[in-house]
Amino acid sequence: MLKNLSAKQKALLISILIIAAGSLLLGGSVLNLVHNKWEVHRLTKKSRELDTRYQQLLEEKKLLENQDPKYMEMLARTRYDMVKPGELEFRFKNNDKH
């Protein structure tokens, strides 16, 4: 079969085979590189989010340690549904259709 091909056709066939072999060998590496790039991006974003949350928690810890009256009242009202004596609590349903 190769005997019937011209020199140009043989060179083209060899080039195609080399490119195909290279693609098979390097294709996985390229995909791994792209995957790793996306993973680094995702983890960097997650790290920034966690850093922000950590700072928020540090601020909350400081407010709790200092027993800031306004913060303690806000916590009592929002987390524990507490009201002052004589106050009435009104609750409204959210009718958003999300």
What pLDDT was estimated at residue 54?
A: 98
Closest of 14, 22, 20, 18 to residue 5, by C-alpha: 14
Q: Which residues contact 81 (CB under 8 A, 6 or more apart)?
A: 89
Judge whether 86 lies within some domain: no
Residue range(s) defining the domain that contains residue 61: 12-78
What pLDDT was estimated at residue 2?
A: 64
What pLDDT was estimated at residue 97?
A: 67
What pLDDT was estimated at residue 24?
A: 73
Judge whether 56 lies within some domain: yes
Domains of the chain: total: 1
Judge whether 49 lies within some domain: yes
The DSSP code for 67 is T
pTM for this predicted structure = 0.52
Mean pLDDT for each 10-residue chunk of the chain (98 residues)? 77 86 73 90 98 96 90 89 88 76
Question: How far apart (Å, rounded) are the C-alpha atoms in residues 20 and 5?
Answer: 20
What pLDDT was estimated at residue 34?
A: 85
